[in-house]
Amino acid sequence: MLGSLEVLCGQMLVVGLAGTELTASEQRALAAGKRAGVVLFRRNIAASMGDVAALNAAVLEAAPVDLPPLIAVDQEGGRVMRLGLPAMQLPPMRTLGGLNDVALVRRLAEAQARELAALGFTMTFSPVADVHTRDENPIIGDRAFASSPEAVAAMASAFAEGLKRGGVLSCAKHFPGHGDTTVDSHLALPRVDRALADLERLELAPFRALAQDQRVDAMMTAHVVYPALDAAQPATLSHAICTRLLRETMGFEGVLFSDDLEMKALTMPIAEAAVRAVAAGCDVLLLCSREGAADEAHEALIREAEKSTVFKARCEQALLRAVAMRRRVSPSPVAREADLARVFEASRPMVSELESRLASCAKLASR
């Protein structure tokens, strides 16, 4: 099945779904190998966790047997969580980082991963490896573990290790660092005007550490311009950043995801953004809203691969890397509600321990 350009290029696309059940067109695209997997948002989360597991089971059933789908979710904690109760409700990562306990962070991530795996998810787009350096940042803020790159690296590494122990893939974001922006890349294109030495010391340091210890399975790019690294284009579209810096200098061997190509930071047509992101070094493209946008990206990748042997080779490299990762963690949704309930109940001791630690810290702070 991997022999066709249609499948080769389709297996680079992870897409959003319209609702709480697969549509006929979504099912057909998965079955034909035109999609690598899905990412779920609040619009896809039904009231029952059993319904979430059923949706993920439908994605698994639709996908070709030899190409297990990626089933992802943003379940960081704090203000970025798609799943409500009874799923574990982690506080913002800044709160966890403030406890200064990497062992606790590791165990919390493991408990969260066991819940996600039971629902059929194979990846959560975390940990956040951005460094909080600007209070007016509208998009990162308390999503970052700390203001110290060393603390961020330690916490992010522990979180990724915990996810792995719990059976879920990790994806560190947003490379090469979104913590110093004053603009939300969902709405416009931010810039980070730090000198190269400062980028090396702050933004890049956690990602370098994660690349070297190989704890994270994947990283996600930022739609942000860093003039000291590439003055002409945002990181997602930059060969200098995605390939020369991340792959060749830092030695990262995992999968590189683009952030959502439908975000307003990227002003060019989806077709152009898709081709440029892959050429820059992205292995998987996120298209989180419009089904038509995923179709446009797919068609553009096929056209480029037809006319460029260099681009086709880049797609083949990306495919091998991403499929190898996906095969390490196949979706395993739990079918029975009672069995799911037991998984969530098993997390209660960790939740209670976290609540106790937070209460103790609050009490100390009030003295």
Kindly give the confidence (pLDDT) of every residue in the chain, 367 residues in length, as a single tens digit, with 9 standing for 90 and above: 567 999 999 999 999 999 999 999 999 999 999 999 999 999 999 889 999 999 999 999 999 999 999 999 999 999 999 999 999 999 999 999 999 999 999 999 999 999 999 999 999 999 999 999 888 777 788 999 999 999 999 999 999 999 999 999 999 999 999 887 776 778 778 889 999 999 999 999 999 999 998 889 999 999 999 999 999 999 999 999 999 999 999 999 999 999 999 998 899 999 999 999 999 999 999 999 999 999 999 999 999 999 999 999 999 999 999 999 999 999 999 999 999 999 999 999 999 999 999 998 877 777 6
CA-closest candidate to residue 261, choices 10, 18, 14, 11: 14
Q: Residue 221 belongs to what H/E stretch?
A: strand 218-221
Question: What does the angle CA 60 – CA 56 – CA 273 come to, to the nearest 5 degrees?
Answer: 85
CA-closest candidate to residue 177, choices 245, 109, 266: 245
| CA within 13 Å, CB half, 340 | 22
CA-closest candidate to residue 351, choices 150, 124, 87: 87
* 263: CB partners within 8 A, 6+ apart: 185, 186, 223
| 33 vs 279: CA distance, rounded Å | 21
DSSP state of 236: G
Position 220 in a domain: yes
Query: Is 186 among the catalytic positions?
Result: yes
Q: Which range marks the domain in which residue 80 is found?
A: 17-353
| 233 vs 221: CA distance, rounded Å | 13
Rounded to an integer, what is the distance from CA 304 to the centroid of its chain? 26
Position 359 in a domain: no
Angstrom distances, CA of residue 98 to CA of 158, 201, 361: 14, 21, 9
* 54: CB partners within 8 A, 6+ apart: 333, 335
Position 32 in a domain: yes
Tokens representing 250 are 């830092």
pLDDT value, residue 138: 75
pLDDT value, residue 1: 55
Q: Looking at the 3D structure of the chain, how many domains does it have?
A: 1
| 64 vs 20: CA distance, rounded Å | 21
Position 58 in a domain: yes
Neighbours of 217 (CB within 10 A): 21
Rg of the chain over all Cα atoms, to the nearest angstrom = 20
| 186 vs 223: CA distance, rounded Å | 9
Given the DSSP bridges, would you call strands 75-77 and 80-81 parallel, antiparallel or unpaired? antiparallel
Position 12 in a domain: no
List the catalytic residue out of 130, 142, 259, 260.
259
List the catalytic residue out of 184, 186, 198, 239.
186
CATH number of the domain at 164, please.
3.20.20.300
Query: Which residue matches tokens 């979710």?
Result: 73
CA-closest candidate to residue 354, choices 51, 104, 76: 104
| 126 vs 163: CA distance, rounded Å | 9
Cis, peptide link before residue 178, omega less than 30° from 0 = no
Position 4 in a domain: no
| 242 vs 236: CA distance, rounded Å | 7
CA-closest candidate to residue 78, choices 108, 115, 110: 108
Position 144 in a domain: yes
pLDDT value, residue 183: 65
Position 222 in a domain: yes
